[in-house]
Amino acid sequence: MKHHGTVLSLLAGALLFVAAANAQTYKMLYTYPNTDVNDSGITYPSVLSQGQDGDLYSTIQTNGTTNYGTVYKMTTGGAYSAIYTFCTEAAPCTLSGGYPTGGVTLGFDGNLWGTTSGGGKDAAGTVFKITPAGALTKVYDFTNGKDDSAPTYPPLQGQDGNMYGVSEAQYNTQYGSLFKLTTKGAISPHPFDYTNGDSPNLPAQGNDGNFYGTAQYGGDATCRCGVVYKATAGGTITVLHKFTGYVSSTVYDGYRPLGILVQDSDGNFYGTTYQGGKFNYGTVFKITPAGTYTLLYSFGSVTGDGLLPIAALTVGTDGNLYGTASKGGKAGYGALYEITTAGKEKLLYSFCVVACTDGFVPTTPMVLHTDGIFYGNTAGNSLGGSVFYSLKTGLKPFVKLVTWSAKVGGTVEILGQGFTSATGVTFDGVAAKFDNISDTYMTAVVPAGAKTGVVTVKTFTSTMAGDRTFLVVPQITGFTPTSGRVGTLVTITGVSLTQTTAVTIGGKAAAFTVKSDTQVTATVPAGAKTGAAISITTAGGTASFGKFVVVPEITSFSPPSGPVGTSVTITGNSFTGTTKVTFGGVAATSYKAISDTQVDALVPAGAATGTIAVTTAGGTGTSAGKFTVTH
């Protein structure tokens, strides 16, 4: 450690010259020993994650006293410390696993979660969690032949509390899988089948609760250029876009997406492809949750441009996107860039312009710390080690929402700085109770009346906004009446209903009025069917409750009279699923629901003058007038 501190001191002058020459705010903070690309140390994807203590955590694949890798901690000032060394029990690393490649992610419990690509009881890799102090717990052993293996990325924690991840090989395919893992270690793998992707990258959870990601290959046999996929929490995987690679002067949307998708505040997802685009040096693209794809930028468009992006983009608090290119730049050794959501790119820093002590080949994504500064790693430098660096772009300190979706009364975890001087937390302006546990970590309780919007933390000297919209999940606690005809006014009670945008009754959209944050009234719509829950959608999500019974209604019939055998057209509402029609109490033997508003029936033998009744699962509707049976 002292040796590398000395090296940093000797190189400081040269590095400052590079920064000044390029008019950038890049700063080399630490040189990792013997971790360059040839030693398989800090490699793709190797994500950095901010912990509750404000430090950054990740993994190195092959360092440590055993050469099976470590989990390490890095301060924002560049102070490095290894907190765990894998495989101290000796190969085949059954107890702890070995070769962590993906870095770690922060869990709700304050632990860091990651995977190893080797070791475990079947030498197929593991999922682990580790405390910031270095106490590791193996949560799951991947098992060839039973589930899946060879994970590259760490898992991420969904807002439902489960861990979600991807692996490269599946027992009955060779295309990888998406898995859900409980924090207790119960796994549910869902394999890719090549048509929906091959070699998946870790997805990001969207505001709608689904997961959106890319796969490096697959899609079809023509291009095999990769896909963008959408996956439900239950594992249903669908393709949103198939890449076409570098085919012609007009078809060049991308080839081999490698990074994790990110969702910006506009609700769209953004990502990169390693190759493809106009010049076959990679692209930046946008895709909506519905699958509308837009090519935003082709690398190689200008002289000295970054080329061949491997790592994921990072969303800035200014709404722009920030990324790394593994090659290109002014010297050809990689670059850092900024790009707007409209596709306007700006080169921020070129590596290795004067000397390569500042690092080269940035293959891992930058992380935006809550201090407003980007931090990242390179795969190497001229001294045989990788570099940990910072990049200032003028962004202000902010707060990061670890929990970004919850009901009123739920506890929200928040990262930041200066929390010991916190004076208040608000959810879209509504004050909340909070517990400033440390200077860099606090919790807050979603208050009654909170609306989906910005979470703000105020201190004695500053105001910091959250990094994303907080979603207040609506709740329905009941409704009355529980049954009724089309046109019936239903009163729905619940919590967080102010921002209601849609109501469905019986599976159909209903006209509604927001009375208060706890009450909405809605009218049973035409076409509503018995048995479906009542649902309310707000800016924070959708809530469903109970089953509404739609009672059929007869509004008219024609002809008004006739003998046995007469065909009668009955009009009204909610006739779908008709199980019985009667004339004067006598059941018709021939009838059919033509539509939800029409039933045709023959007057049955023995029928007497009287009302007509139609029965469905929702009850029985009876005509106001009488049908006259003539002889």
Cβ neighbours around 447 below 10 Å, total: 16
Cβ contact 268:275 at 8 Å: no
- State how beta strands 512-516 and 519-523 pair: antiparallel
Cβ contact 626:583 at 8 Å: no
Task: Please name the amino acid found at residue 134.
Answer: G
Q: Which residue has the higher pLDDT, 532 or 2?
A: 532
Lowest mean pLDDT among 30-39, 291-300, 428-437, 608-617: 30-39
Q: Which residue has the higher pLDDT, 353 or 157?
A: 157
pLDDT score of 242 more than 50: yes
- Yes or no: domain 32-191 corresponds to CATH 2.130.10.10: yes
pLDDT tens, position by position, 416-451? 999 999 999 999 999 999 999 999 999 999 999 999
Cβ contact 143:117 at 8 Å: no
Cβ contact 63:101 at 8 Å: no
Task: For residue 314, name the pLDDT band (cuts at 50, 70, 90).
Answer: very high
CA 175 to centroid of chain Cα atoms: 22
Q: Give the Cα separation of 576 and 176 in Å (integer).
A: 44
Lowest mean pLDDT among 77-86, 269-278, 352-361: 352-361
C-alpha radius of gyration, the chain, whole number: 30
Q: In the prediction, which pLDDT does 136 show?
A: 97
b/e burial code for range 184-211 (CB count within 10 A of at least 16 → b):
eeebebbbbebebbbbbbbbbbbbebbb
Cβ contact 521:503 at 8 Å: no
Q: Which residue has the higher pLDDT, 367 or 62?
A: 367
Q: In the prediction, which pLDDT does 379 show?
A: 87
Give the start-to-end residue ranges of the domains of the chain: 32-191, 400-469, 474-550, 553-629
Q: In the prediction, which pLDDT does 19 show?
A: 41
pLDDT score of 150 more than 50: yes
Cβ contact 30:74 at 8 Å: yes
- Yes or no: domain 400-469 corresponds to CATH 2.60.40.10: yes
Q: Which residues have C-beta within 8 Å of that of residue 315, sequence separation ≥ 6?
A: 262, 263, 264, 265, 270, 321, 322, 368, 467
Q: Give the Cα separation of 221 and 195 in Å (integer).
A: 8
Residue 603, burial from CB neighbour count under 10 angstroms (0-12, 13-18, 19+): buried
pLDDT tens, position by position, 449-504? 999 999 999 999 999 999 999 999 999 999 999 999 999 999 999 999 999 999 99
Task: Supply 85's token pair.
Answer: 């060394």
Task: For residue 223, name the pLDDT band (cuts at 50, 70, 90).
Answer: confident
pLDDT tens, position by position, 11-40? 333 333 344 334 459 999 999 876 544 444
Q: In the prediction, which pLDDT does 6 show?
A: 29
Q: In the prediction, which pLDDT does 467 show?
A: 96
477 to each of 449, 481, 483, 496, how far by Cα in Å?
A: 16, 13, 16, 11
Q: Look at residues 232, 195, 234, 235 and name the one whose alpha carbon lies nearest to residue 215.
A: 195
Looking at the domain that runs over 553-629, which CATH code has it been given? Answer: 2.60.40.10
Q: Which residues have C-beta within 8 Å of that of residue 511, sequence separation ≥ 6?
A: 522, 523, 525
Q: What is the DSSP letter of 44?
A: S
pLDDT score of 356 more than 90: no
pLDDT score of 90 more than 80: no
Beta strands of 283-373 (E only): which ranges?
283-287, 293-298, 306-307, 314-315, 321-325, 327-328, 335-339, 345-350, 367-368
The residues pairing with 613 across neighbouring beta strands, listed in sequence order, are 582, 622
Cβ contact 56:73 at 8 Å: yes
- Yes or no: domain 474-550 corresponds to CATH 3.90.480.20: no
Domains 32-191 and 400-469 share a fold: no
